[in-house]
């Protein structure tokens, strides 16, 4: 059996980026507890911001130091999406329109996950995030952090930020779906032509 040091680098498990992604998962209950139970919006905002910073840092480390792994490609977006869903769930208690991005994000991630699994099963490759996924993440992060930092945010500004975030999520979902369908259909066509 190969040691982790001698095996394919993409198959490694214990890397710093993967540990940072796991740390983000551990921050979710802290964010929810401080926001809902303690109603300490400042602390919740700080923990959420740290979580977002670790996301940027782990991506940088993974690319710069050749630590991109299959586990990381899967764990990183899972940590991101669960954090976002948890934060939206918290914000619904004070901003009722947050229910819409919460529902959309949840449905989008379930469907995207199914489509991605079909594409992985077809191609055998785990794809990383692309620009439109990152755009959706950034707009959602800005919307969430704005509502955390400014708990009495102007309703019109709140609605605008929520609308932009929903639009970016829809666009990203369509782009990912088209990409994954092309992989699946391309493989089927190649098999039919054999």
pLDDT of residue 154: 96
Q: Quick one: pLDDT at residue 178?
A: 84
pLDDT digits (tens, 9 = 90+) for 98-134: 999 999 999 988 887 787 777 777 776 656 668 888 8
| Inter-residue contact 65 to 17 (CB < 8 Å) | no
Higher pLDDT, 188 or 77: 77
Q: Which domains does the chain have, with CATH numbers?
A: 9-192 (1.20.120)
pLDDT digits (tens, 9 = 90+) for 20-43: 999 999 999 999 999 999 999 999
The rounded distance, in Å, linking the Cα atoms of 185 and 11 is 27
pLDDT at 190 over 70: no
Is the pLDDT at 7 greater than 80, yes or no?
no
Alpha helices in the chain (DSSP H): 16-32, 41-64, 70-92, 99-123, 131-149, 155-192
- pLDDT (tens digit per residue) in 48-100: 999 999 999 998 999 999 999 988 888 988 898 999 999 999 999 999 999 99
pLDDT tens for 165-176 read 999 999 988 988
- Check: CB of residue 69 under 8 Å from CB of residue 9: yes
Instruction: Quote the CA–CA distance of 139 and 165 in Å, as a whole number.
Output: 5
Give the pLDDT score at 40.
95
Query: 139: pLDDT confidence band, cut at 50, 70 and 90?
Result: very high
């Amino acid at each position: 059996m190969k040691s982790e040091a001698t095996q394919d680098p993409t198959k490694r498990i214990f890397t710093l980026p993967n540990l940072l992604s796991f740390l983000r998962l551990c921050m979710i209950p802290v964010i929810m507890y401080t926001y809902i139970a303690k109603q300490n919006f400042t602390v919740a905002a700080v923990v959420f911001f740290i979580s977002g910073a670790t996301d940027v840092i782990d991506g940088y480390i993974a690319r710069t130091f050749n630590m991109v792994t299959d586990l990381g490609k899967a764990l990183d977006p899972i940590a991101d999406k669960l954090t976002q869903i948890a934060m939206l769930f918290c914000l619904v208690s004070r901003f009722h329109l947050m229910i819409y991005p919460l529902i959309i994000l949840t449905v989008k991630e379930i469907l995207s996950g199914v489509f991605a699994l079909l594409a992985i099963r077809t191609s055998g490759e785990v794809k990383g995030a692309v620009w439109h996924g990152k755009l959706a993440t950034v707009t959602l992060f800005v919307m969430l952090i704005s509502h955390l930092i400014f708990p009495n945010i102007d309703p019109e500004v709140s609605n605008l930020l929520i609308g932009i975030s929903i639009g970016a999520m829809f666009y990203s979902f369509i782009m990912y779906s088209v990409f994954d369908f092309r992989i699946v259909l391309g493989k089927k066509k190649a098999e039919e032509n054999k």
